[in-house]
Amino acid sequence: MAFETHRLENSKGSGGNFDDTILPKGAVLQSRYEIIKVLGVGGMGAVYLAQDLRFSGVTRLCAIKEMISTTPDPHVRRLAVQSFMREANLLVQLNHPGIPQIYDFFTESVRSYLVMEYVKGDDLENILENTAGMLKEEVVLDWAVQVCDVLIYLHDQTPPIVFRDLKPSNIMLRDQNKIALIDFGIAKAFESGQKGTMIGTEGYSPPEQYKGVADPRGDIYALGATLHHLLTKRDPRLEPPFTFHEEPPRLLNPALSQEANDVIIKALEYDPEKRYQSARAFKDALVIVLKKEKPHSATPSGTQLLSSSAATTVLPDQNTTPTLSQPQYPPQYPPYPSQQYPAPYPPPQYPPHPYPGYPPMTGSSGELDEELNDSILPIWKFKCEDEIRSSPQADKTKLYIGVYDNNVYALDLKSGQFLWKYPTDGGIATKPTVYKNSLIFGSEDRVVYAISDAGRLIWTCPTEGRIRSSATVEFDHAFFGSDDHKLYAVNAQTGRVIWRFESTGPIRSTPALGDELVYVGSEDGYVYAVDLSSGASRWKFRANRGITSSPVVYGELVIVGSSDWNVYGLDAKSGYSVWRTRTGQAVISSPVVADGTVYIGSADKHLYAIEAKSGKVQWKFNAEAPIVSTPAVTEEAVYFGTAAKDRGELISLSRRDRKLRWKFKTGGPVPSSPLVVDGIVYIGSTDHHVYALPA
C-alpha cells in the first residue's frame, strides 16, 4: 500500500462523501420507518430521527444509525460491516437504562441500519461548550457516578464489555439529569490478553490502548480524562498526549475540592495497576466525594502557629556591655597605598540609600505591631541600635549580622543571646561570609575585615570605596567588590590582595564563581567575567541599567537581574545572552536556583519562579510591596522580605502549591535576605530587630 502523510481531519466535517446519499425527510425504510430529520453525521453514515409508522396516530420516535460502505476496497468494507454488526449484536443483548435499546436491524442493498431508542438530549461536549465558566463539581460528579453504573453493568457481562471510546461527546444527558452512553461502535468484548487494533479517540485513551490492549480499566482512565476535560475546559485533544499530571484539575479550576482532584488523578494513572481497579471502586470513591456537603473553597493563607514546646524567649533590649575579654578599639588602618585617596573622608550618610530606585527609608521607631502577627510568632527577637539592612550569616552555633550602628553582632543561634559585637567605622550593609574559623565582611568605612569567631581581628584589607558587596570565598581566596569600582581577589588567610579588576562603576553585587571565571555585576550596567587566577577580563555583557543583583552560576548559564527590569540568563563561557525575562520593575534581588527553577524578586512587587534553562516564567506571586531581598529556598518553601514605604514583611510561600504559607510583619522595610538554618528562619529588619521564626 502506498503510504502518504496527511493531517487527521475532524470526521464530523467529512460528510462530504455522503451529502448526495443522505436520506431526505419523508423517506420511508422497510415500509415502516419515516425519516424526520438528520441527527448527526458519523464516519460511516448518518444518524436519523425517524417515526415508527407501525404505531400510527402516536408519536413513536426512534433513532436510526445508518452504515454505508462506499469504500472501493472490499477488505475495508468488510471490516466496517463487521464493526457495525458487532455493535448491533452487543447492544441487542444489553438491557440498562443508560444504554439505548435496540429495536431492529436490517439491510437495504449496500446500506445497513440499526434502529434504536431515541435518546433525546444533549451530549456533554455540547453542554460544556455552551456553559459560561466552569461546570459545578457536584453536577459533573453525579454524571460520573451514573456513567460508572453503566460501566459496572458492561464490565460485569461475560465476557466483560469494554466501551473503549468514552468521551464527552459519547455521553448524552437526557431530561431529569439522566445519563446515557451512545456510539458503541468500537466497544469490544474483552478477551483477556487479546490484542485488537488501535482505535479510540486520542486524548481520552489510556496508553495501553495503543498496544492494542482493551482492558476494563481503560474505561476508567477514559472517564477520568472526560472528567478532567469537563471540570477544567482543557481539551486533551489539543494538548500533548499524556500530560494530564502536569496540569491537575485543581490547578486549572481552584474551585474544585482536593478530594475530587485526587480521585480524578488516580483514575488517570498511566499504569493500569495504579488506577481504580474496577468501575465499582471508582464509583465508591466518587460517592465519598459527593457526600461532603459542599466543595471546599481554597483555604486562605496557611497560618502557622508556634507550637507550645518551642522556646519563646524574647530577649530584652541589649544595652549590656559585651562579654569579651579583649578591649574594643577600632583597628589600625594600614596607610593607604595610593595617592588617589580622596582627602576629606565624608561621614556616611544617615540614613544611606544603597539601592538605586529604592523607596526612601523612614527611620522607623521600631515598634512592632503585635496584633498584625496573630498567625506566626517569633521564637526570639533581638533589638539593635539601628537599622538592619544586610542579611544574616550563621555557622554551627552563632548568628552573625551587620547593623547600621557600625557593628557586626554575634548572637547565639538558638536563643538569640548576645555574644559579642565588633565595631567598625562605617555601617555594615553586607552579609558576612564564613571562612574556616573566621568571618569576612566589608564596611562602609571602606575596609574589609576578617575576624575570628570569637570577635578578634585577623586582618583588614582597605579599599577606596564603601563596601556594599559581600565576599565570596573559595580556593582560599576571598572575592568582593567595592564602590571604588574594583573587584578584589585577596588571600583569605592574610588579606593580601592578589589582583584587582577595575570596572567603570561601583560593584555592589556579590561575585559568583565558575570553573575558571568569576562573575560580578557593576552599577555601570555590565556583568563581567574575569579570570579567577589573573583577574584578566574574559567577557562583559551590557544590560541597560546597573546591576546590583548578585549573579548565580547554574550549569552553563550565569543568571542575574538588572535594574533595567530584566532577569538574564547568559552563557557562562561567552557572555551571550541566551534568555531574557522581563518583569515590571527593577530587579535588585539576586536569583536563587533550586531544582532547575530560579526564584527572584522584583520591585514590581512580585516573586518570580522562572525555569532556569529557558527563562520561561513558571509562576509569580504578588507580594503587594517591592522586593529587593534575595529569596531563601528550602525543600518546601521560599522565603523573602518585602520593602514597602514604612513597613515590611517576611513572606513564606510553598514551592509546590505556589501558595502563601505565612506572612510576618515587621516595623520597617525588609531589604535583606532571610537565612534558614535547621528549620528556623532568621531575618533582620530596618525596625532594628533580628527575628528568629519557625520555618
Partner 1 sequence: MNFLQRLFSQPKLHAVGNDHVEHGEPAKTEDNSLVANPSLNNMTPFNQLGPGLHVGKLSDVGREREQNEDSLFAFEAVVQHDFRQERFGLFIVADGMGGHQKGEVASALAVRISASTILKDLYLPYLINDQNANNRPLNEALIAAVQSANVAIQKLAAGAGTTLTITVVMGSTAYIAHVGDTRVYLFKEDKLKRITQDHSLAEKLQESGQFTEEEAAQVQNVLYKAVGQTDLLDNDIDLHVQQLSPGALLILCSDGLWGLVSEQTFQEILTSAPTPQQACEQLIRVANENGGRDNISVIIISIGIEH
- Residues forming the site for partner 1 (CB under 8 A): 3-10, 198, 202, 207-208, 210-211, 237-238, 240-243, 270-271, 542-543, 556-557, 568-569, 571, 573-574, 576-580, 613-616
Which of residues 82 and 243 has its CB atom nearest to partner 1 in the complex? 243
Q: Which is nearer to partner 1, 270 or 333 (CB)?
A: 270
C-alpha cell belonging to residue 453? 569567631
Residue placing its CB nearer to partner 1 in the complex, 132 or 238: 238
* DSSP annotation string for 57-74: TS--EEEEEEEE---S-H
d(CA 531, CA 553): 15
Report the candidate in 669, 338, 335, 356 with the shortest Cα–Cα distance to residue 522: 356
Measured from the CB atom, the residue of 383 and 573 that comes closer to partner 1 is 573
Contact 674, 391 (CB under 8 A): yes
| Nearest-approach distance from CB 632 to partner 1, in angstroms | 28
Sequence-distant (≥ 6) Cβ neighbours of residue 284 within 8 angstroms? none
Shortest reach from residue 630's CB to partner 1, in Å: 23
Pairing of strands 457-462, 447-452: antiparallel
Cell numbers for 47 = 444518524
Measured from the CB of residue 332, what is the shortest distance to partner 1 in angstroms? 46
What distance in Å separates the CA atoms of residue 104 and residue 101, rounded to the nearest whole number?
A: 9
* Residues whose CB falls within 8 Å of the CB of residue 246, separated by 6 or more in sequence, listed in order: none
Burial of 225 (0-12, 13-18, 19+ CB in 10 A): buried
Query: In terms of Cα–Cα distance, which of 86, 60, 325, 297 is closest to 183?
Result: 86
Q: Which is nearer to partner 1, 201 or 666 (CB)?
A: 201
What's the rounded Cα separation, in Å, for the pair 368 and 372? 9
Nearer to partner 1, 136 or 582 (CB): 582
Q: If we measure between CA atoms, which residue out of 586, 569, 179 comes closest to residue 357?
A: 586
Nearer CB in complex with partner 1: 4/678:
4
Q: How far is the CB of 1 from partner 1 (least distance, A)?
A: 8
Least Å from the CB of residue 570 to partner 1? 9
In the complex, least distance from residue 207 CB atom to partner 1, rounded to whole angstroms: 4
What is the signed CA dihedral for 266, 270, 276, 279, rounded to 10 degrees?
Answer: 110
Q: Give least dist CB 618 to partner 1, A.
A: 11
Give the residue with the Cβ less far from partner 1, 113 or 541. Answer: 541
Question: Is there a contact between 684 and 392 (Cβ–Cβ < 8 Å)?
Answer: yes
One-letter amino acid identity for 447?
A: V
Between 464 and 571, name the residue whose CB sits nearer to partner 1.
571
In 472-616 the beta strands, taken as DSSP E runs, fall at 472-474, 477-481, 486-491, 497-502, 512-513, 517-521, 526-531, 537-542, 552-554, 557-561, 566-571, 577-582, 592-594, 597-601, 606-611
Number of Cβ within 10 Å of residue 104's Cβ equals 17
Q: Which is nearer to partner 1, 10 or 299 (CB)?
A: 10
Q: Which residues share a beta bridge with 64?
A: 48, 115
- For residues 672 and 355, give the distance between their C-alpha atoms in angstroms, rounded to a whole number: 12
What grid cell was written down for 628? 529587593
Residue nearer to partner 1 on the CB measure, 4 or 20:
4
User: Which CB, 438 or 566, lies closer to partner 1?
Assistant: 566
| CA–CA separation, 141 and 279 (whole Å) | 14
Nearer to partner 1, 78 or 211 (CB): 211
Asked if 69 and 80 touch (Cβ cutoff 8 Å), the reply is yes
Q: How far apart are CA 529 and CA 560, in angstroms?
A: 13
Cβ pair 154, 85 in contact under 8 A: no
412 or 611, CB closer to partner 1?
Answer: 611
Tell me how far, at minimum, the Cβ of 8 lies from partner 1, in Å: 5
Give the nearest distance from C-beta 546 to partner 1 in angstroms.
Answer: 16
First to last CA, the chain: 66
Nearer to partner 1, 119 or 512 (CB): 512
* Alpha helix positions (H), 120-269: 124-129, 137-156, 216-232, 249-252, 258-267
Q: Least distance to partner 1 from the beta carbon of 41, Å?
A: 17
Euclidean distance between CA atoms 199 and 425, whole angstroms = 79
Cβ proximity to partner 1, 5 vs 93, nearer residue: 5
Tell me the three state secondary structure of residue 96.
coil
Least gap, CB of 569 to partner 1 (angstroms) = 8
What minimum distance in Å lies between the beta carbon of 194 and partner 1? 17
Minimum separation from the CB atom of position 43 to partner 1 (A) = 14
Least distance to partner 1 from the beta carbon of 269, Å?
Answer: 10
C-alpha cell at 35: 425519516
- The whole-angstrom separation of Cα 178 and Cα 273 is 31
Residue 9: CB minimum distance to partner 1, A: 8
Q: In which residue are the cell numbers 527577637 written?
A: 381
Return the closest-CA partner of residue 664 out of 636, 619, 623: 623
Rg of the chain in Å (alpha carbons) = 36
CB of 588 to partner 1, least distance (A): 20
Cell digits for 516?
575558571
